[in-house]
Amino acid sequence: MDLKALKRLFYLHHTEIIPNENPTQELNPESLRLKNTEPEAVFSYDIGFIDSKSQEFVKINEKLLSNYWKKTFELSEDTEFLSAKLVKAQVNQGEKDYYIINTTSKSGKINISSKVYKTDVGFVMAGEECKCESTECTFSGCEVMSMCSCTSCSGECKKTHTLKEGLALSAFELN
C-alpha cells in the first residue's frame, strides 16, 4: 500500500470526539458527539436532499442511497455495498466545509462518495458524486479521496464525476 493510500485509510477511520456545538451547555459525557461516525451510525443522522419541486427536505435511508448510486453510475441492480461512512472532508482555505458519504462495493472494485452539507435539517446531498473504479486494485487504492479525486493504484483507476442540479425522489428509485 502506498503512502497516499495509508493516509486515506487513516483519515477515513479516524474518529475525533468534539464538544456539542451549543456553547451554553455544560460539558459532560452526554454532550460529546462523534465528528466522524462508525459505518452503522451514518443513518442515525437525518440524511436526504432538498426536493427540486417542493423545496422540502426529504429524508432517505441506506437502500434509497444505494439505489441512487446504482442509477447515477448505471451499475447493476445486483451491486451490493458495504456500510457507508460519513466523513468530514478536508477542504482548502476559503472553501465551504462539507462531508462525504463514502462506500465501497462488496467486491472492492468500486468506491463511491456523495457530497453532503450539514444544515439545520440534517445532512443535505449536494447532487455531486464521485466514483473510482478498478479491476486491479481491490480494497487498496483507487478510492475516492475528495470531490473528485482518486487515490493512486498499481493498475488502472477510472474516475467518474457527476453533478446534478435539482434532486427528486425519482432519482432514488430503481425502475
Tell me how far CA of residue 111 lies from CA of 22, 69, 74, in angstroms: 35, 11, 14
- Give the pLDDT score at 41: 63
Residue 144 belongs to a domain? yes
Residue 28 belongs to a domain? no
Residue 93 belongs to a domain? yes
Residue 88 belongs to a domain? yes
Residue 26 belongs to a domain? no
- Those residues of the chain that have pLDDT short of 50 are 1-40
Task: Tell me which residue range forms the domain holding 136.
Answer: 3-13+35-172
Bond into 148 cis (ω within 30): yes
Side chain identity, residue 94: G
In b/e form, how buried is each residue of 113-151, taking b as 16+ CB within 10 angstroms?
Answer: bbbbeeeeebbbbbbbbbbbbbeebbebbbbbbbbbebb
Q: Which single residue is written with the C-alpha cell 452539507?
A: 117
Closest CA relative to residue 147, chosen from 165, 162, 125, 164: 162
Domains in the chain: how many in total?
1
- Which pTM was predicted? 0.73
- Give the pLDDT score at 6: 34
Residue 19 belongs to a domain? no
Residue 47 belongs to a domain? yes
**In the numeric block, which cell numbers belong to residue 114?**
456523495
117-162 per-position pLDDT tens digit: 999 999 999 999 999 999 888 777 888 887 888 888 888 899 999 9
